[in-house]
Chain A
Amino acid sequence: MKIFDVSQRSARNLKQAKARTLLTAMAIGVGAFALTMTLAASNGAQSYVNRLISNNFDPTELLVAKDETIFGRGDNNKPQEYDASFGSISSASGAPIQVKQVTEQDVNKILKYPLVEQVREGVILNVQYVTRPGQKKYIANIQDYSPARNPEILAGSIPKPINNTSLLLPEAYVSALGFKDPQSAIGKELTIAIRKSLSSQIVETGTAPRNLQDAEVIGDKSTVLVPFKVVAVLKSEPAQPGTELSLQISTQAAKNLNDIATAGTSQYRQYTRVNVKVKDGEDKANLLKVQEQLSKDGFVSQSVEETQQFLTQIINVLKTIVVAFGLIAIIASVFGVVNTMYISVIQRTREIGLMKALGMRRKDVSRLFRFEAAWIGFLGGAIGSGLAVVLGTLLNPWITNKLDFGTQKLLIFKANQIAILIVLLVLVAIFAGLLPARKAAKLDPIEALRTE
């Protein structure tokens, strides 16, 4: 019997038992729905991570630190030996943790590596406030501008290289600082107020302030005002989390401000991490060579690829959990298919007897039932995936908005993935139909024809 005839006949047989077929297919559909949604969410998350990486990191750079904690690999549950370079950072829970920091000597050492082109210190610091004449003061934080960042510019432009008096202003500050629109902020001067470290105040005034209020009283002497010119206004970018309220300036300017804030303290010219640009860093071998050298000198490093893997790892764990639930649903549905197919064989025993009497081969009888199972699998896959696509497409704007993902969609459906999923479900259904199909093929035609 030709495949086309078997396929048509099996589809007709299923149509005869519409409710049963549909219910069995729906069991597979539940699994298909869960798996389609998981794949779509994972695509969305992966796309977000990729955007995050491409918008924030230069693939020819390595992130270098002195402490594994920076890359989420350290063990902070046991006592650590004191090192003069320890500095405090905030953990994910907000609690301060001590990490070894990269010193100026370390930076100079790394700069001497033959394959290192440049070392850019990563500076993030809270300034006292930002303001401009006639406007209120606002708290702010400063970040060094990474040339790897690819922000959306609302007005102005980012000079290359960015000079030490230029400032990139987040859009959130435009109206707060009294500008009517982003364009009107371009070229205007802002004042960044930064508090000197208490140690440097003691050196300068000879008086030790008892607390922060006392430091305020010191007034002008405790605060340094630094003027900056707005060269660009940046759109808040979901793929650059943490930059929504960050004023970005050149690395050198950020270092200068950091020096003011940390002069005389143990944090002076110490950095949690530095960005090391590798010569011909597109070549993975060069990155690895530098990483090996860094490791020998007691540094920990992470390439952009490793950062991406680290972020993807979290997504994969979540994906595995949801996929496991989807697979359980599919395994459960396998029993439904087996049951349905057995009932079908029993109900159609005389038909099978007739077909065998008319010379239908065992192989074709078995194939007829396997095709029926395949159709159920296809139907289940199509219904489940179809519903997921429809529901996902409808809910996507709402979810994206809730998660503040900007233009990034959380659910990204890929036709090839859905097609592969449906093919796999068809194969699963065929597998489920094997035993009933075998039973049908082995029926004795004489006995089958006698069946009431």
Chain B
Amino acid sequence: MISVKNIVKTYGKKDSLFKALSNVSFSIPEGSTVAIVGKSGSGKSTLMHIMSGLDHPDSGAVMIGDQELHKLKGRKMDKFRSTEMSFIFQAFFVEANQTCYQNVSLPLEIAEEGQRKIRIEDALGQVGLKDKIDAKAGNLSGGQKQRLAIARAIVNKPKLIFADEPTGNLDSSTGEMIIKLLFKLNRLNKNTLIVVTHDNELADRCQYRITLKDGKVVHFAENKKVSK
């Protein structure tokens, strides 16, 4: 279970104080798909940053299994992130001058994990880019770049994948293909997929939908139509 308990996050001081998150709480089972939706400035990204340990809450806690995330400091937090989490971003963030192999290798290098060749080939195979293993990332199309980013996200078999507007930079047909791929891999690898999105269509395909408004959870719903 992943539990978010009474998270409060403010920015600024005194007169310019801005409450980004206000007593945000919810729980989701591990292995599920979750959409965090809301307008710009609603606190979606802040919540994702806190849930991934990139940012610290003023108060409250994030529990991933039995582990209270923000009790991990320094090296332990880095280690936890490198082995248990991964990210997919709207802007792909792939290294254009490096090969697909080198891009996908990054999380394994950071986590100091072995059997890289097999794992990278497997990850690239899962996203349909095995034949591009030695191609420069810069020569790939937008959809291929995002698939490469997904391969990078799944290569170290994380428990949690955060996807921040994963289809935001793609045309609708490529976006649809990426969505299908993300859900397929979620079912296959049984990791928790947390998607931050404006895209209602994408949100509708997730098992849980958390709607934020002005830093508060205004709606938390389980989509019973989506089968696990």
- Which A positions have Cβ atoms within 8 angstroms of B? 1-2, 5, 9, 12, 16, 350-351, 353-355, 357-361, 364, 445-446, 449
Contacts and interface: CB of A to CB of B under 8 A. Distances in A.
B221 to A, nearest CB: 28
Nearest to B109: A5
B81 A350 contact: no
From A350, A353, A360, name the one whose CB has the most chain B CB atoms within 10 angstroms.
A360
Contact of A358 (B75, B91, B110, B112): B110
From A2, A16, A359, name the one whose CB has the most chain B CB atoms within 10 angstroms.
A359
B187 interface: no
B197 interface: no
A361 B55 contact: no
B80 A359 contact: yes
B95 A360 contact: no
B110 A359 contact: yes
Nearest to B102: A12
A2 B109 contact: yes
Given A364-B110, A446-B49, A359 B93 contact: no
A270 to B, nearest CB: 82
A360 B93 contact: no
Interface in B54-92: 54-55, 75, 78-83, 85-87, 89, 91
A2 B112 contact: yes
B87 A354 contact: yes
B106 interface: yes
B135 interface: no
B110 A355 contact: yes
A34 B94 CA distance: 42
Given A360-B78, A449-B89, A12 B98 contact: yes
A2 B110 CA distance: 8
Contact of B106 (A2, A353, A355, A449): A355
Given A359-B107, A449-B89, 17 more contacts: A1-B112, A12-B98, A16-B97, A350-B91, A351-B93, A351-B95, A357-B54, A357-B81, A357-B87, A358-B81, A358-B110, A359-B79, A359-B80, A359-B110, A360-B78, A361-B75, A364-B110
Contacts of B98: 12
B102 A360 contact: no
Contacts of B97: 12, 16
A239 to B, nearest CB: 57
B54 A445 contact: yes
Interface string B105-129: 0110111100000000000000000
